[in-house]
Amino acid sequence: MALLKKSISVLTSVLLVAVIAIAGFLLVGKMNSGKTMLFGNEIMVVLSGSMTPTFTTGSIVAVGPAEFKDIKQGDIITFKDTEGRTITHRVIEKQESNLVTKGDANDAADTAPVTSDRLIGKVQYSVPYLGYFIEYAKSGLGMLVLLGLPGVYLIISQIWKLMKMMREESQNATKSQA
């Protein structure tokens, strides 16, 4: 029984530290003009299915800076379209001064080729489904839950430990008087 309590305590502590670290990471991202950075890569959430099956909706992609001249056919890049939306698609053709892109799930190439001034970077890696958690954590309710609940847990656990110590002290004092 003691081993089970100790295991639960350790697991709870690890989970608490992880939640606080993720919440802090996202809070820093919110303060950094909404850009969430990790090891020099901008973390973005996939919001559509245009790159399925490579990335599913709700995945995250890490986009690293890239030079236009270094992009080649087959690379997956993130760019601003002509309307200012952020898009992540595969390069299907590299021309002299622009890139022709297409979503893996789309039938046709994108209508406007990507020019160097609209290139954000190249996708370095992705993690499926983590984007759902990140989008929730960025919301007001998510921040409250991810920061508030661990805070309440810490306060309650410390009060519980304090009460337990006071009871033990009281019992020890009663035993020593007898």
Q: Output the DSSP codes for 132-175.
A: HHHHHHHSHHHHIIIIIHHHHHHHHHHHHHHHHHHHHHHHHHHH
Q: Which residues is 177 bridged to in the sheet?
A: none
Q: How far apart are CA 109 and CA 100, in angstroms?
A: 7
Q: Are 81 and 110 in contact (CB under 8 A)?
A: yes
Which residue of the set 48, 116, 139, 170 is catalytic? 48
Q: How far apart are CA 133 and CA 126, in angstroms?
A: 14
Q: Are 119 and 71 in contact (CB under 8 A)?
A: yes
Q: Are 125 and 60 in contact (CB under 8 A)?
A: no
7 noted as active-site residue: no
Residues marked active site are found at 48
